[in-house]
Amino acid sequence: MEESVSLGGKYLTFLLSREQYGIEILKVVEIFGMMKVTAVPRSPDYMKGVINLRGKIIPVMDLRLRFGLEERDYDDKTCIIVVSAELEERQLTVGIIVDTVLEVKDFQEDLISASPDYGAEFNTDFILGIGRGEHEEVTILLDLVQILPQDQVVLEVTESEAVSEQ
């Protein structure tokens, strides 16, 4: 028997290119304008580096690059959304760079459609559903766990274990 998960609720919406996306508001830690990101050698292109947020080092990824979109210069509307999600029984906090933060929207369950099936060639696991708005606009609701870099967890576990062994 398949477990039914309610997708209705509040989502922080933002733009990447001309498309509107949303992530569950309960996974958002904070939002701020673009700041200096320190590059980390040998990281994937979409991992822009790390920031020091009040003494905590947080990895930052550019969501445009993570989704294979064209890179663009950051401007005064570019934001970093710090999100937190449980991944493999660990809490992972990551900053995601987006073009513009829009608003918090409340999507009722009946206004969310399942993610489209494009066949086996295109993996849509990162899409929770498609939210429909009042004025025919569409919001792609993202599964945060699926867009976070899975290899980052291994790196974080390895580093924390190395520190605790010393």
How many whole angstroms separate alpha carbon 157 and alpha carbon 144? Answer: 19
| Residue 111 counted as domain residue | yes
pLDDT reported for residue 5: 58
> In this structure, what token pair is assigned to residue 41?
């050698």
pLDDT at residue number 123: 62
What mean pLDDT do residues 99-106 have?
Answer: 95
| 89-102 pLDDT, tens digit each | 888 899 999 999 99
Residue 132 lies in a domain: yes
Q: Does residue 3 fall inside a structural domain?
A: no
* Contacts for 34 with CB less than 8 Å, ≥ 6 apart: 74, 78, 79, 80, 97
Residue 2 lies in a domain: no
CATH number, residue 146: 2.40.50.180
What is the number of alpha carbons within 13 Å of residue 126 lying toward its C-beta?
14
Is residue 156 in some structural domain? yes
Q: How many CB atoms lie within 10 A of CB 108?
A: 11
Q: Which amino acid is at 2?
A: E
**pTM, whole model, 2 decimals?**
0.82
Residue 4 lies in a domain: no
Residue 103, domain member (yes or no): yes
The domain tally of the chain equals 1
Q: Is 1 among the domain residues? A: no
Range of the domain at 60: 9-165
